[in-house]
């Protein structure tokens, strides 16, 4: 009888060990094939520029290629809708501004909700700003407003959200200006430098044109990394645009895949080429946050943007 019991214990221990090995192997197998990283903005903008370098670093860490797929349109809504509709298996991710997953579902007829995503990690904060060409006849936000009182000005916006904030500023200052939609920073730059518009919203690409553009105001709640002396929209008007650049996935991503991605992303953001791009070229800080922290932040952002929308 003792021998039978011992055999059963040995068999149970062996079975448990096998289950553990299978589970470990299943975790180690992800990813088994290339990963698609959707960028819902045009090529040439700050997000696509970051994604190209970051995607290589992430692929090196995961041991698989990360394929960058640009899907611009609707201020990020087109690419976000495609990501939301994908299988939640870790093979489709999106590199996106936090507002693109919150604002369109609040204000447009789009086929996704904020709840349709799992938020995996934060990468950085966009260095959002109001910018003008270096040749503009003013150097400050006050100068822009005074100029607008006696001149009909056009500006480049990249989404309904940036337009909402800029028009809110105009309403507060008693001036009117006309928004010209542009397809990401890649189109905004030639519009501004070519004189087709008078000022622009920039999601951060202006950092690559320091000699050609002047920053008048940070659209974040905090000062900009490369232009710390520029006033913030928060200090002037008591509001700020969401600034988080995040990695998200279709809702339902397995916990072990989230953990694998979190660990790989935390290493990838410290890649030498990526750090150089961020600090020397774009002037973006590296602000990594894990899934739990960015998920909580997205909830707070949703509440804040609902409050802004209520003022419209």
- CB neighbour list of residue 260: distance below 8 Å, 6 or more residues apart: 27, 30, 62, 90
From 30-39, 116-125, 181-190, the region with the lowest mean pLDDT: 181-190
| Count helices and strands in the chain by DSSP H and E runs | 11, 11
Mean pLDDT of 190-214: 94
Whether 129-237 and 32-125+243-310 are alike in CATH topology: the answer is yes
What is the length of the chain?
A: 312
Mean pLDDT of 239-261: 96
Per-residue model confidence (pLDDT) at position 28: 53
Residue 36 pLDDT grade (very low, low, confident, very high; cuts 50, 70, 90)? very high
Residue 9 pLDDT grade (very low, low, confident, very high; cuts 50, 70, 90)? very low
For residues 310 and 129, give the distance between their C-alpha atoms in angstroms, rounded to a whole number.
23
pLDDT at 21 over 70: no
State what percent of residues in the chain have pLDDT above 90: 76
Mean pLDDT of 212-227: 95
Per-residue model confidence (pLDDT) at position 216: 98
**Interior angle at CA 103, CA 101 and CA 106, nearest 5:** 110
**Peptide bond preceding 155 in cis form (omega within 30 of 0):** no
What are the helix (H) ranges across the chain?
A: 2-29, 46-62, 77-84, 103-107, 141-148, 160-173, 184-193, 233-237, 255-268, 272-276, 291-310
pLDDT at 2 over 60: no
pLDDT at 7 over 60: no
Under CATH, to which class is 129-237 assigned? alpha beta
For residues 106 and 114, give the distance between their C-alpha atoms in angstroms, rounded to a whole number.
9
Per-residue model confidence (pLDDT) at position 304: 78
- Domain limits, the chain: 32-125+243-310, 129-237
- CA proximity to 76, closest of 190, 151, 178, 161: 161
- CB neighbour list of residue 175: distance below 8 Å, 6 or more residues apart: 145, 148, 149
Question: Is the distance from CB of 56 to CB of 219 less than 8 angstroms?
Answer: no
List pLDDT tens digits, range 37-54: 999 998 988 899 999 999
Residue 24 pLDDT grade (very low, low, confident, very high; cuts 50, 70, 90)? very low
pLDDT at 15 over 80: no
- Compare 23 and 214 and report the one with higher pLDDT: 214
The CATH classification of domain 32-125+243-310, taken from the options 3.40.50.10470, 3.40.190.10, 3.40.190.150, 3.40.50.720: 3.40.190.150
State what percent of residues in the chain have pLDDT above 70: 90
For residues 157 and 147, give the distance between their C-alpha atoms in angstroms, rounded to a whole number.
19
For residues 111 and 97, give the distance between their C-alpha atoms in angstroms, rounded to a whole number.
18
List pLDDT tens digits, range 114-167: 999 999 999 999 999 999 999 999 999 999 999 999 999 999 988 888 998 999
List pLDDT tens digits, range 93-109: 999 999 999 999 999 99
Which two three-digit tokens encode residue 101?
A: 């997953």
Mean pLDDT of 55-73: 97
Mean pLDDT of 237-245: 91
- CA proximity to 182, closest of 212, 202, 167, 152: 202
């Amino acid at each position: 009888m003792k021998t039978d019991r011992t055999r059963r214990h040995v068999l149970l221990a062996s079975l448990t060990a096998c289950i553990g090995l299978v589970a470990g192997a299943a975790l180690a197998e992800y990813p088994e094939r290339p990963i698609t990283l959707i960028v819902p903005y045009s090529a040439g903008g700050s997000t696509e520029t970051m994604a190209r370098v970051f995607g290589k670093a992430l692929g090196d860490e995961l041991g698989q290629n990360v394929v960058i797929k640009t899907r611009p349109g609707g201020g990020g809504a087109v690419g976000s809708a495609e990501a939301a509709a994908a299988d939640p298996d870790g093979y489709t991710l999106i590199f996106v501004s936090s507002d693109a997953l919150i604002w369109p579902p609040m204000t447009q007829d789009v086929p996704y909700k904020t709840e349709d995503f799992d938020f995996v990690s934060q990468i950085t904060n966009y260095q959002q700003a109001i910018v003008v060409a270096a040749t503009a006849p003013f150097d400050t936000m006050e100068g822009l407003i005074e100029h607008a009182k006696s001149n009909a000005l056009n500006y480049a916006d990249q989404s309904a959200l940036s337009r909402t904030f800029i028009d809110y500023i105009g309403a507060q200052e008693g001036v009117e200006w006309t928004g010209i939609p542009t397809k990401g920073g890649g189109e905004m730059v030639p519009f501004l430098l070519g004189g087709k518009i008078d000022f622009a919203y920039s999601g951060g690409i202006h950092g690559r044109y320091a000699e050609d553009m002047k920053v008048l105001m940070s659209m974040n709640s905090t000062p900009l990394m490369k232009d710390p002396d520029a006033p913030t929209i928060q200090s002037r008007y008591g509001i700020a645009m969401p600034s988080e650049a995040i990695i998200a996935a279709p809702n339902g991503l397995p916990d072990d895949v989230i953990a694998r991605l979190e660990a790989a992303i935390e290493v990838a953001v410290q890649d030498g080429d990526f750090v150089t791009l961020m600090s020397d070229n774009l002037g973006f800080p590296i602000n990594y946050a894990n899934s739990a922290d960015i998920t909580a932040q997205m909830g707070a952002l949703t509440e804040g943007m609902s409050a802004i929308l209520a003022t419209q």
